[in-house]
Chains A and B, each alone.
Chain A
Amino acid sequence: MKIELSQVSRWYGNVVAVNDVTMTIGPGVTGLLGPNGAGKSTLLHMMAGFLAPSNGTVTLDGTRVWKNHDIYRHIGLVPEREGVYGFLTGWQFVLSAAKLHGLPDPDAAARKALATVEMEEPKDRRVETYSKGMRQRVKVAAALVHDPAVLLLDEPFNGMDPRQRLHLMDLIKTMGAAGKTILFSSHILEEVERVAQHIEVLVSGRHAASGDFREIRRLMTDRPHLFKIRSSDDRALAAALIRDQSAGGITLRPDGLEVQATEFRRFARLLPRVARAEGVHLLEVSPADEDLESVFSYLINRSA
């Protein structure tokens, strides 16, 4: 099954949360990547039928999602908020999901779903006694109980320990390989890269980039980088570097150089060569803008 968004916007008063997004989410694993506040949750809520687009349409295999509770036969949703009844046991929670779906054998479905997320052992404890990761897993189990063709997960790895994270990643990959349509949101590139075959990047409500992880990684690494460099002779190094086209600009500061590299790979090879040729010792080379915010702001400026 596929989810199609066509020129979807959503605004709250004067604030635009999602701006004219068109994308198709097909079978396999898609990662929705973007910094916090980019509108990922808003977009996901619109896909899950929990928010009306202010403009545009969201459809699941051609049928409109908004005000249509029949879509939940095909969609499993793992919301970001806890949203689990603390007074129920894990078993009761997942079983209730199976019954709410009207499954023919709710017991078997609930058992299978709990086994899938490795929650059989603590299933008879109340949800309120669970750790955050365990709650996340029963939520996933409840979302999987009817074996949906589409699974939507909002920041699913938040609050999980590394082992649980790996396990959920494997689970998502396996389901994606089995032909399910899976979309999950995250603000961590490495997370998305490990799991998703396809990545959609959302920045400030706009669809900034789309492609497989290699393309996104290339877009992100081939952007201009800013390096801080300390060496035995900053001035000589600066003079030598500026001769090459990969160095866009150099600022000489009392505590070292700031080099704007226009081509990351070329510059990475150039720097040690030049230093050796000039007889300059490199004391420190560090990227000054490796944080995600600057990567994203580069992407959004590029697409604008």
Chain B
Amino acid sequence: MNTVVAGITYRALLGRRRVVLLLLLPMALVGLAVLLLAFGAADQRTAMQLMDKFAIGTMLPLLGLIAGTGVIAPEIDDGTILHLMSKPISRPVIVQTKFLVAASLLALFAAVPTYAAGWLLVRNEDGIAPGFALGALVAGVAYAAVFLLLGIVTRHAVTIGIVYALVWEGLVGNFVPGARKLSIQQWAKSIADQISDSAFLRADVTISFAVPALVVVTVIAVVWAGRRLRVFSLTGDE
């Protein structure tokens, strides 16, 4: 962890207009919860749907993409990353710092609003709100790592990330039962299920698979990203 790298990264992501990107979806989530509350639809089943489909199913992967790639891909694109890399700091430390920044942003912009929306609808009933919040937190950490890696290995990180988040997790995960095992979203649900006693929540992946999988994916992605940045090459215009 390097505080200067972290400071610059926070400023790049939270400065001016970019923070709007991070705020939009959580605001929509809380807004939906308020609407449901206003129309008297604040029951467990609705809360579960909102958490499952929107908070974990849509907002989390998209925010993961924005934060995970956002901490490094724009700097690689415009060459500012050289400012950090031409210093006597090991490249894995740069990657770990950027990962921590992305993970902390996801905690703030994904996990906290998830809890807030859940709490607005059903308070802490049956552990739905804390369950999904913890699921979002842990899965957010994994997304941060995976999308950070993606931001380093390819210039098309955002496109690939969207395809992964929407097509793989959204479609394939829903239709092909086996594929659900390999989905960060499902792992998040599994954690929520562990904490919540709600009858409406049923995870397809066991907790004994989900937790190790989240840890392994996160660690591998961060280590790999560090290695990739170590051999980062400037190909230039020639």
Task: Name A's B-contacting residues (CB within 8 A).
Answer: 12, 17, 37-42, 45, 48, 50-52, 67, 69-73, 75-77, 79-85, 87-88, 93, 96-97, 99-102, 142-143
By a CB distance below 8 angstroms, the chain A residues around B15 are 87
Least CB distance, A179 to chain B, in whole angstroms = 22
Chain B 63-102 residues near chain A, CB threshold 8 A: 78-80, 82-91
Q: Say yes or no: A50 contacts B80, CB within 8 Å.
A: no
Least CB distance, A196 to chain B, in whole angstroms = 21
By a CB distance below 8 angstroms, the chain B residues around A71 are 88
In the bound assembly, the distance between CA atoms of A88 and B12 in angstroms comes to 9
A-B contact count (CB 8 A): 92
Q: Say yes or no: A72 contacts B86, CB within 8 Å.
A: yes
Q: Determine whether B28 belongs to the interface, using a CB cutoff of 8 Å to chain A.
A: no
By a CB distance below 8 angstroms, the chain A residues around B84 are 100
Q: Say yes or no: B88 contacts A84, CB within 8 Å.
A: no
By a CB distance below 8 angstroms, the chain B residues around A37 are 238
- Residue in A closest to B4 when the chains form the complex, CB atoms: A99
Cβ contact of B88, chosen from A45, A69, A80, cutoff 8 A: A69
> What are the interface flags for B218-238 relative to A under an 8 Å C-beta threshold, 1 for contact and 0 otherwise?
000000000000111111111
18 residue pairs of the A-B complex, CB under 8 angstroms, read: A38-B238, A45-B233, A67-B230, A69-B91, A72-B86, A72-B87, A79-B82, A79-B234, A80-B236, A81-B79, A81-B82, A84-B83, A87-B16, A93-B83, A99-B4, A100-B2, A101-B87, A102-B88
In the bound assembly, the distance between CA atoms of A85 and B8 in angstroms comes to 9
Q: Say yes or no: A101 contacts B80, CB within 8 Å.
A: no
> Beyond A51-B234, A100-B89, is A77–B8 a contact (Cβ under 8 Å)?
no
Q: Determine whether B11 belongs to the interface, using a CB cutoff of 8 Å to chain A.
A: yes
Q: Determine whether B5 belongs to the interface, using a CB cutoff of 8 Å to chain A.
A: yes
Least CB distance, A100 to chain B, in whole angstroms = 4
In the bound assembly, the distance between CA atoms of A52 and B235 in angstroms comes to 10
By a CB distance below 8 angstroms, the chain B residues around A48 are 86
Chain B 1-41 residues near chain A, CB threshold 8 A: 2, 4-5, 7-8, 11-12, 15-16
Least CB distance, B25 to chain A, in whole angstroms = 23
Q: Say yes or no: B5 contacts A100, CB within 8 Å.
A: yes
In the bound assembly, the distance between CA atoms of A42 and B4 in angstroms comes to 29
Q: Say yes or no: B233 contacts A51, CB within 8 Å.
A: yes
By a CB distance below 8 angstroms, the chain A residues around B236 are 41-42, 45, 80
Least CB distance, A8 to chain B, in whole angstroms = 15
In the bound assembly, the distance between CA atoms of A61 and B34 in angstroms comes to 66
- Residue in B closest to A152 when the chains form the complex, CB atoms: B86
In the bound assembly, the distance between CA atoms of A77 and B86 in angstroms comes to 7
- Residue in B closest to A12 when the chains form the complex, CB atoms: B235
Least CB distance, A4 to chain B, in whole angstroms = 20
Q: Say yes or no: B83 contacts A97, CB within 8 Å.
A: yes
By a CB distance below 8 angstroms, the chain A residues around B12 are 85, 87
Q: Say yes or no: A97 contacts B87, CB within 8 Å.
A: yes
Cβ contact of B238, chosen from A42, A67, A93, A101, cutoff 8 A: A42
Q: Say yes or no: A73 contacts B232, CB within 8 Å.
A: no
In the bound assembly, the distance between CA atoms of A97 and B88 in angstroms comes to 10
By a CB distance below 8 angstroms, the chain A residues around B87 are 69, 72, 97, 100-101
Least CB distance, B85 to chain A, in whole angstroms = 8
> Beyond A100-B5, A100-B84, is A82–B238 a contact (Cβ under 8 Å)?
no
In the bound assembly, the distance between CA atoms of A217 and B157 in angstroms comes to 49
Q: Given contacts A45-B233, A52-B233, A72-B88, could you give 17 more A-B pairs where the C-beta distance is less than 8 Å?
A: A45-B234, A50-B86, A50-B232, A51-B235, A52-B231, A69-B89, A75-B86, A77-B86, A79-B82, A80-B236, A85-B8, A87-B11, A87-B12, A87-B15, A96-B4, A97-B83, A143-B86
- Residue in B closest to A101 when the chains form the complex, CB atoms: B87
Q: Say yes or no: A83 contacts B4, CB within 8 Å.
A: no
Q: Say yes or no: A50 contacts B233, CB within 8 Å.
A: yes
Least CB distance, A103 to chain B, in whole angstroms = 11
Q: Say yes or no: B88 contacts A70, CB within 8 Å.
A: yes
Q: Say yes or no: A83 contacts B238, CB within 8 Å.
A: no
> Beyond A50-B232, A99-B4, is A82–B78 a contact (Cβ under 8 Å)?
yes
Q: Say yes or no: B231 contacts A67, CB within 8 Å.
A: yes
Least CB distance, A134 to chain B, in whole angstroms = 16
Query: Which 9 residue pairs spanning A and B have beta carbons closest together?
Result: A83-B79, A81-B79, A100-B87, A50-B234, A41-B236, A77-B86, A99-B4, A45-B234, A72-B88
